[in-house]
């Protein structure tokens, strides 16, 4: 809870000013500490990495809970609101930091690539999340897909550089708040199932570049459906 002050500086004693300062400091420090449920959500994501044989302690060294006083808004890859302390942005791209190889056709591939499923329910605690970057992780599907509909304030989603293919499209339509959707190089091929994104009425930017789509015809229907789209990758 935040306090609202309507005070005249005139007539305030030094003791009164000290209390005002302390209250403001408590609010600021509390915000930097982030919400307990969100901190636990981040730690669960780190545990999820460990279950999938990822050296999470090396890759996310600041994501630790020191006697329940850790301030997760200062952790790497996490950005919180300076006023509410809620997590607003998560940059979980290339979370395993795999080494890339360039093949004879000019495409990049991971060395010793291991595909894995993303547990979407891990993001349920982040009610104020605006920006989520999950690119370049070799995900090839979702677990607990219904968790996507809980991200009611998500505006930017980047899942490029994964192995989702067309199976993921029907689930993305549940995130109706999206304004930017980046599907670059996710193994899309054949016909683009545009009708499965019909619910994304706020969409302004769609990037489907570096996919093996047969034609651009169905994508052009997206332009008709969403007149506000500014950038359509191809």
Read off the pLDDT of each residue in 83-95 and give the average, rounded to a whole number: 94
Top pLDDT among 6 and 208 is at 208
The pTM score is 0.76
d(CA 206, CA 76): 27
**CA 77 – CA 75 distance, rounded (Å):** 6
- Main-chain dihedrals φ then ψ at residue 11, nearest 5 degrees: 90, -5
Q: What's the rounded mean pLDDT across residues 176-182?
A: 96
**Is 218 exposed, middle or buried, given 0-12, 13-18 or 19+ CB atoms closer than 10 A?**
middle
Render pLDDT for 50-87 as a digit per residue (tens, 0 to 9): 888 778 888 899 999 876 666 899 999 999 999 999 99
Contacts (Cβ under 8 Å, ≥6 apart) of 1: none
**Residue 193 confidence (pLDDT):** 65
Cβ-Cβ contacts under 8 Å for 37 (sequence gap 6 or more): 125
**Biggest alpha carbon distance in the chain?**
77
Residue 59, token pair as written in the block: 């890759």
The 10s digit of each residue's pLDDT in 28-50 is 444 455 789 999 999 999 999 98
Report the C-alpha gap between 116 and 162 in whole angstroms: 10
Q: According to the model, what pLDDT value does residue 13 have?
A: 67
- Does 11 score more than 60 pLDDT? no
């Amino acid at each position: 809870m935040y306090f609202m002050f309507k005070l005249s500086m005139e007539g305030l004693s030094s003791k009164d000013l000290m209390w005002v300062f302390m209250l403001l400091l408590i609010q600021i420090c509390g915000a930097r500490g982030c919400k307990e449920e969100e901190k636990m959500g981040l730690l669960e994501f780190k545990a999820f990495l460990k279950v999938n044989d990822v050296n999470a302690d090396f890759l996310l060294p600041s994501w630790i809970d020191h006697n329940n006083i850790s301030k997760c808004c200062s952790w790497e890859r996490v950005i919180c609101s300076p006023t509410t302390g809620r997590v607003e942005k998560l940059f979980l791209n290339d979370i395993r930091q795999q080494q890339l190889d360039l093949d004879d056709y000019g495409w990049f591939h991971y060395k010793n690539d291991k595909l894995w499923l993303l547990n979407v329910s891990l993001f349920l605690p982040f009610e104020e999340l605006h920006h989520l970057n999950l690119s370049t992780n070799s995900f090839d599907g979702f677990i607990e897909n219904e968790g996507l509909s809980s991200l009611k304030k998500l505006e930017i989603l980047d899942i490029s550089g994964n192995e989702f293919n067309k199976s993921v499209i029907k689930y993305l339509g549940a995130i109706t708040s999206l304004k930017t959707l980046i599907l670059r190089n996710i193994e899309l091929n054949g016909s683009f199932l545009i009708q499965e994104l019909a619910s994304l009425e706020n969409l302004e930017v769609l990037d489907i570049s570096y996919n093996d789509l047969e034609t651009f015809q169905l994508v052009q229907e997206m332009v008709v459906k969403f007149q506000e789209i500014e950038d359509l990758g191809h």
